[in-house]
Chain A
Amino acid sequence: MQKDKWLFEITPKNNLFDLNLKEVWQYRDLLLLFVKRDVVTLYKQTILGPLWYLIQPLFTSIIFTLVFNNIAGISTGNIPPFLFNLAGVTIWNYFKECLTATSDTFKKNEAIFGKVYFPRVIMPMSIVVSNLLKFGIQIFIFICFYLYYFLNGYAVSPNKFILFFPLLVVAMGMVGLGLGMIISSMVTKYRDLTFLVGFGVQLLMYLSAVMYPLDLMREKLTNLEEGYNYAWVVDFNPIAHLVEFGRYILLNDGSYSNFGMLYTICFTIIIFFLGLLIFNKTEKSFIDTI
């Protein structure tokens, strides 16, 4: 009968896998407008504007070079230590920004989420996209230094895998978004996680091969004579693999392992979909618990 043809139903128990991607597609204009909003409004009433994006990675790289390469004496092979660190920091930053900015989605947008409905996932997705701009600026400054060192006779050249660079960026964004969505879902109930994120991300950086070559860390962590092997700390950290792979394709330096790459790809895809599922489940009722 005609009577039973409903356009949609609102019910309490929905299928866990009902991601409603069609609806997300219908709201694609909103995603673009959020990105535009983020980009347009970011530098309003700042003096240095986008320069802030350059200052942060540059100074971080200088400090890392001072502490880790000059004082601690970590060798970066043929690559100038500053460029080595800048590459690591640039790649790491994109992941970090995606993670931290998406991890408080629900809390930050409580007011708007409490008033109108749109697919909530639009919000973290727009953050990941608008962070691309920031990443673009940082990659640009990296290329400037790259050319500077190249012209000064250093043996820096990209790897043939450079074609995979966009994929690397996508993977970084996906891991950051996936983890961010999981955390933001849990923050609605357990606020403790907000503290953990700020602190945890910093710790994770030290385990993610940002300022040292992955092989060196693996070497130091393994000592078969004394019978310990902590290499798993970096081996099972997908971010370390991504950072190392990024440096591998940008600077043709460091190691590349099939296992590491395969593991990282699987991890990325799993964490992304897990994040989507948890986020999707939370968005129905978070407004009652936040």
Chain B
Amino acid sequence: MNDVILKVENLSKQYRLGTVGTGTISHDFNRFLAKVRGKEDPYLKIGESNDRSKKGDSEYVWALKDINFEVKRGEVLGIIGKNGAGKSTLLKILSKVTGPTTGAIKSKGRIASLLEVGTGFHPEMTGKENIFLNGAILGMTKKEIAAKLDEIVSFSGCERYIDTPVKRYSSGMKVRLAFAVAAHLEPDILVVDEVLAVGDAEFQKKAIGKMQDISGENGRTVLFVSHNMAAIESLCSRAISLKNGSIKFTGNTNNVVNDYLNDNFFKNRKIEFHDIEYAIGNSNLKIMYAAIENASDKRKNAIIDVNSSINLRLKIINLSKENEIYVGYDLLTTKGEVVFGSGDKFKCKRNALSEIVCHLPPNFLNNNQYQIFIYFHTSNMIELYKNRELLTFEVKDVKREQSYLGKINGLIRPKLKWTINNDQT
């Protein structure tokens, strides 16, 4: 059954950089002239892809370029991407807050967005009055809201305060009330942007549960944008990853999430600087060299396997007044789980290059992607320098991958001693 509910075709969005002000009259005038003569907008051509770290030549930039995708009825689609990849722009166009520059979105159902809960709450009005106002802003009629009022109030858990002005609410209560209204909308397509980041753990659980109900039981379509890979993986069946305004990868959620993490994290197993001017660090300390090395295989850039031993090698210059420095690091997976932390105190000669090596045994880390969060303290635990993503690396399990066996569960992968005694009677 080809039940496509939402279709995005060649969608692009252009933004003007810099301040909008002087110069716009002349641009407006040129645009107008071109329009009169039946030509295309003269400023549309000079846009370029949106890479914020590179300086471009033109004043106009494509926040989204040639986006194409389809969503089927009842599907939960995750949208991921770095900051500035175009996620929010896409959602804004989907929720009609702003228009596209070219392309089209075709929809078979009503779209409602949950871009930010509590939009339009008036502090002087009571909770109940705000439920009506907020519901109407989100597109419900008064009748629909009245029919669901009890349900909304009890979901929010604010029964006691419902006739009190919202300005007396705690911020958590406002969020609960707002989410309750939004969750009881009945659009065909619901667009959700990071709303789960607010509220306490209990409420988050309730909210995720409600979202699962919306898509599961009621068969409604949800577009979910988040930086939380775990939430994306648990909620979505399919995902899209955006990069610099274009779709980079689309497909099964696990593949997209892995691809995204690969792209963004598995970059630097080694950093090296020859000039102290460019080295990372601060006035206390500079890191000239940092690498994860395969100690079992000396070849350059050798793949790290689960049975390789690993050296974390650091070359630092101590610029502080301390003679003794505490060096430590946490090893985390790229999804953010801490595997372990380790550290030690060193006599560190001032203004000289010191080499520090930490040795990790073989058969210790599972195959996964890891990052090193490094920190340097004085002996009195005063922080000298820290870097959350100093190095990232991947541990592979070559043998199992070749034989198509699945990954063994767990953060670590110890080789334990097993015994058997067959002569038991």
Contact = CB atoms under 8 A, between A and B. Distances in A.
A163 interface: no
Contacts of B94: 10
Interface stretch (A136-144, A176-184, A282-290): A282-290
A116 B97 contact: yes
A160 interface: no
B136 A114 contact: no
Contacts of B7: 6
A30 B142 CA distance: 8
Given A5-B108, A37-B125, A12 B20 contact: no
A213 to B, nearest CB: 42
Contacts of A10: 93-94, 96, 99-100, 104-105, 107
A285 B115 contact: no
B144 to A, nearest CB: 9
A118 interface: yes
Contacts of B31: none
Interface string A86-116: 0000000000000000000000000111111
A21 interface: no
Interface in B105-141: 105-110, 113, 115-116, 119-120, 122, 124-125, 129, 132-133, 136-139, 141
Interface in B396-419: none
A191 B28 CA distance: 16
Given A3-B2, A284-B98, A41 B122 contact: yes
Nearest to B130: A37
Contact of A41 (B24, B109, B124, B137): B124
B4 interface: yes
B88 to A, nearest CB: 10
Contact of B138 (A7, A32, A114, A116): A116
Given A3-B4, A115-B115, A116-B115, A12 B99 contact: yes
A13 B136 CA distance: 28
Given A3-B2, A41-B124, A29 B119 contact: no
B49 interface: no
B269 interface: no
Contacts of B354: none
Given A12-B102, A12-B103, A33-B132, A116 B92 contact: no
Nearest to A289: B20
- Chain A interface size, as a band, is 35 or more
B43 interface: no
Contact of A287 (B98, B104, B106, B133): B98
B108 A7 contact: yes
Interface string A114-141: 1111100000000000000000000000
A33 B15 CA distance: 35
B333 interface: no
A37 B133 contact: yes
Contacts of A44: 124
A33 B120 CA distance: 12
27 contacts: A3-B2, A6-B7, A6-B107, A6-B108, A9-B106, A10-B99, A10-B105, A11-B104, A12-B99, A12-B103, A29-B141, A33-B142, A37-B125, A37-B129, A37-B133, A41-B122, A41-B125, A113-B97, A115-B116, A116-B115, A116-B138, A117-B96, A118-B139, A284-B99, A285-B98, A285-B99, A288-B15
Interface of B: 2, 4, 7, 15-16, 20, 24, 28, 92-110, 113, 115-116, 119-120, 122, 124-125, 129, 132-133, 136-139, 141-142
Interface of A: 3, 5-12, 26-27, 29-30, 32-34, 36-37, 40-41, 44-45, 111-118, 189, 284-285, 287-289
Ordered nearest first, which 8 A-B pairs have the shortest CB separation? A117-B96, A30-B136, A284-B99, A10-B105, A29-B142, A6-B106, A115-B119, A41-B124
Given A10-B104, A117-B113, 12 more contacts: A6-B107, A7-B107, A7-B108, A12-B102, A33-B136, A36-B129, A37-B122, A40-B124, A41-B124, A116-B97, A189-B28, A287-B97
